[in-house]
Chain A
Amino acid sequence: MRWRPGPIVCILGIAAVLPLIELFLPQPAHVSEAVRGVFLYAILALGLNVVTGYAGLLNLGIAAFMAIGAYAFAILTCEIYPFQIGFWPGLLLTLPVGALAGFLLGAPTLRLRGDYLAIVTLGFGEIVQDVLKNLDVVTKGTQGINPVPAPSLGGTMWTAEDEYKWYYLLLALLIVVILAIRNLERSRLGRAWFSIREDELASRSMGIRVERIKMLAFSAAAAIAAFAGGLSTSVLSSTGEPSNYDFQVSILALCIVIVGGIGSIVGVLVGALVMIGLNSIVLVKATAVLETMGIGGQSNVLLSPNNWKYLIFGLALVLAVRLKPHGLVPPRIERRAT
């Protein structure tokens, strides 16, 4: 049998050659810079997909874990703190830090019913944001922590100008995350997740330890989100202010998962491309174009495409749930009709 590349390989292959189109464009378009956001959100949404897509637990506070990762990374590596352990150890440590945060929130709350759990995660997201904002002794409040060190590997440094290096670094890390999640998905643990999503009671009677399995999903998602947070901090060389990790971010990640295809890796990649493409590429470019034409800005709220963001997120969720409940690219595993 001939080997045929699956959809994930195709998408990643296209991503790998994408920066080359810049050679054929008349003026620099910074395509690779724009796509970075897609990669970061893809990692975040892949994390959310583990808990919401695989285990069926709605998490509305994924941005909080991203924030925890971002601040953990910044505190561990920034020169104004005593640790300064460097980029790679710092990035790797975001994983256990995120998992621990997930464990601490999940341990008392995971026995709650689905919608209550969703609200707890939402409240947790708000609390984390407030704490980061108010504990300005440690977190520098709304200034955010900066600068954080740039990554270096075998003597090469990533500086802010190296668009392509950053692009390929993020792509490589995205591939690592995808590989890890694919292995999880096909492991005993992954099957247990699908099983509790479909029927908790039946799984329990089959000997699956539901609490433990949920806990692992929750922690794994938190770890991946924290990893995405650490990574975004190093891309921006700053944590940014705490409100960069607000409810909107959690909902954007949720949109990616739901629009793309809940429980499907390809779906999440497609969803990230569609949603982030709309949010930070199409809207931003449209704003810029309108502004050069002299329309928009402060004069009329309707003419600034940025002001349509919430409407797009909202419509994406409502329409996706109503018309395409399994998303643009549904997972291949058979789902029970609900």
Chain B
Amino acid sequence: MQDYEVFLQQLITGLSNGMIIALVALGYTMVYGIIELINFAHGDVFMLGAFLALTLLGALGMEAWPSHWQLAGVAIMLLASAGFCGCLNWSLDRVAYRPLRRASKLSLLVSAIGCSFICTNLGLFWGGMPMEVFAGGVAAAAPKDFPQLIPQFNILGESAIRIVPADVAVLVVTVPLMIALVYLVKRTRLGRAMRAVAQDATAAALMGIPVDRVIGITFFIGGALGGFASVVYALYNNTIGFQMGYRAGMDAFTAAVLGGIGSLPGAVLGGLTIGCVRAMSDQYVETRWTNTIVFGILILILIFRPSGLLGSTRREKV
């Protein structure tokens, strides 16, 4: 492979992973935009979504399905995980965050960290389920193989650069979701309510907006995006584990902050940037330094430009 081909290949990987990170980052940025909470458990909700997908895949025996049926299987997993993660995120808000609306921001963050740990532990238990896809339930903590449902061939034919159908699948899932989200936030009644609550919850309540319900729906949507992302992630990277939520969560949070937290296009831009930074660092620095580089970026942005790339003094929230 030529040097430029290596670079392009890494760029493709980076952009695909970046789109997934962006989808998770949207969940962070929406929740932060509306109640200024770093929803620490978001990454773990994402992780549980991937576990649900693997469970479904095993329970329905999708691996044995004919290939065009497998596409339907992917759709089933996407919808199921999205619904599950949305409900889970909504329940976290209902149980652990809503009672603390009037408490200090830090108590809320501590509660979110607690939820994150609880979800991590649920993932560990889930990994011990006696199913074939979970390796019979022994070694619950070990990473699980996620079967390759999407065929592996190079769309570019004989070219040295590989674009596999999984890359396309990432785009096919993420781009419409992002467009739908922007439409929802900008053009619908619900979106207007969300923006109103983000701007001033008290005033929104006085105008008759059911604030708690709007916040709950925001959590649901954020969680659902994480659910979609989790299935795409699992199909793209083919391995999942109960600790992946923490890493994925930190990448996505970094992306959200990089783009300007609260800003939807910012989250996408941040996600793509972090995806590419990770891919380039894996290639040109060393894999073991990649996390250090991502965290370094996070700290530097927070210090020098806390409002992020696209954030401005009067940024648009949600």
Interface residues of A, Cβ cutoff 8 Å to B: 56, 58, 60, 108-109, 112-116, 118-120, 122-124, 126-127, 130-131, 133-134, 247, 251, 254, 258, 298-302, 307-311, 313-319, 321-322, 325, 338
Q: How far is the CB of B254 from chain A (nearest CB, A)?
A: 8
Pick the interface stretch among B19-27, B162-170, B190-198, B298-306.
Answer: B298-306
- Bound CA–CA A301/B122 (angstroms): 11
- On chain A, the residues within 8 Å of B110 by CB distance are 58, 254, 258, 317, 321
Cβ-neighbour of B38 out of A108, A115, A134, A298 (below 8 A): A115
> Does B152 make an interface contact (CB < 8 A)?
no
Inter-chain contacts of B124 with A (CB < 8 A): 301, 307, 310
Per the 8 Å Cβ criterion, residues 273-318 of B in contact with A are 288-289, 291-292, 295-296, 298-299, 302-303, 306
**Complex Cα gap A325–B104 (Å):** 10
A321 to chain B, nearest CB (A): 5
Q: What's the Cα separation between A119 and B37 when bound, in Å?
A: 12
| Interface residue tally for chain B (C-beta within 8 Å) | 49
- Contact of B109 with A58 in the complex, beta carbons under 8 Å: yes
Would B117 and A114 count as touching, CB distance under 8 A?
no
B100 in the interface, Cβ–Cβ < 8 Å? yes
- Chain A residues with CB under 8 Å of B128's CB are 300-302, 307
Given A115-B36, A119-B298, A319-B114, 13 more pairs with CB closer than 8 A? A58-B109, A112-B303, A116-B306, A120-B302, A123-B298, A124-B295, A130-B291, A131-B292, A134-B289, A300-B128, A301-B140, A302-B128, A338-B102
A-side interface mostly:
helix
Q: Which residues of B contact A313 (CB under 8 A)?
A: 114, 117
Within the complex, what minimum Cβ distance (angstroms) separates A48 from chain B?
12
Contact flag A114-B121 (CB < 8 Å), given A126-B295, A300-B137, A317-B114? no
B299 touches A120 (CB 8 A): yes
What residues of chain B lie closer than 8 Å to A254, measured between beta carbons? 110, 113
Cβ contact within 8 Å between A307 and B109: no
Is the C-beta of B106 less than 8 angstroms from some C-beta in chain A? yes
